[in-house]
Amino acid sequence: MPAPVNAFKARLKSGDTQIGLWIGLGDPSVAELCAGAGFDWLVIDGEHGPNGLRDVLAQLRAVGTRSHPVVRTRDDNRAEIKQMLDIGAQTLLVPMIESADQAREVVRSVLYPPAGLRGVGAALARASDYNAVPDYLHSANDQICLLLQVESRAGIAALDDILTLDGIDGVFIGPSDLAADMGFVGRPGAPEVQAVIDDALRRIRSAGCAAGILTSDRTLAAGYARDGVEFLAVGSDVGVMRAGLKELRDAF
C-alpha cells in the first residue's frame, strides 16, 4: 500500500483554480469549522500563527480529509520540515525564498534519499499511519507537494532561476512582504506592487509551474482567478471572523 494520493498536487497540474483560506488562530476547533465550509485548501500558518508542532498536528487531525491542509513552516529549517512531514503534512508552503540555492536545499529537505535528505523515521510517524503503510518510504516522494513563497525583491530577481529547478510544484507570491520590501508597507494593492506581482505570476505559469497568492480584496481575487492562478487564497479565519462580528454589531 503506497502513501495517500495528494489530490491537491494532482489538481495543480489540471489548470483549475483551487480556492483556499488562511488559518491563523492556531485553534483546532476553528480549523475544523473552516474545513466544513467548502474551501479546496486551508493554510495552517506556522510562520505568523501561534503554532508549534503539536498545534499543527491537532489542526491536521481537525481538518481531516474535508479540505486539503497546507502547512506553512516557520522558515526553511530542515529539521522542522522533516517534523511537519512526519506528522502528516503532505503539502508545505515554505516562506522567504530568495535564491535558487535556497530553493534547491528546500527541495532536498522534503524528499527521501537518494533524491533528497529527509530523515528516515516513518515507522514512528503519523505520515505512514504509524508504519501501517508498508510502501510509504518508496512512495512518499511522489505525493509530497512543495510550494515556495517568494516575497521580496531578491526573491523576484531570483525567480527565473528558481523556476528551473525540479521538485517545485508551485510558487506563491507573498504580496504583503513584497509590498513592504518595495516601500509600500500595508499597500499590497498599490499599482507598482501589482505590476510586479502580475509579471511574477505570469512568469511562474509560463514556466509550467503552479502560481499562488493570497488577497482579501475581492476585485483582485477575481482578477487573479481570471488569469488562471492555480491556488488562490481569498481571506483568513481572523479576517472573516472580525468582519462578521463587526457587521453583526453594527447592525444593532
| Tens-digit pLDDT profile for residues 47-101 | 999 999 999 999 999 999 999 999 999 999 999 999 999 999 999 999 999 999 9
Sign of the four-CA dihedral 157, 46, 238, 186: negative
pLDDT at 36: 98
Q: Pseudo-torsion of CA 161, 164, 169, 171, nearest 10°?
A: 20
Residues marked as catalytic? 48
Cα separation, 76 vs 46, in Å, equals 12
Q: Provide the β-strand partners of residue 69.
A: 42
Average of pLDDT values for 208-222?
A: 96
pTM for this one?
0.97
For 126-135, what is each residue's pLDDT tens digit?
999 999 999 9
Average of pLDDT values for 220-236?
A: 97
pLDDT at 1: 84
With DSSP H G I counted as helix, E B as strand and the rest as coil, what are the percentages for the chain, rounded to 5?
45, 15, 40
Pick from 248, 239, 231, 237: nearest CA to 20: 231
Tell me if 130 sits within 8 A of 124, measured CB to CB. yes
Cis peptide before 2 (omega within 30 of 0): no
Is the pLDDT at 178 greater than 90? The verdict is: yes
Domains of the chain: residue spans and CATH: 7-250 (3.20.20.60)
Which amino acid, one-letter code, is at 172? F
Per-residue confidence band for 138, with pLDDT thresholds at 50, 70 and 90: very high
Average of pLDDT values for 154-160?
A: 98
Q: Which residue do the cell numbers 483546532 mark?
A: 28
Per-residue confidence band for 232, with pLDDT thresholds at 50, 70 and 90: very high
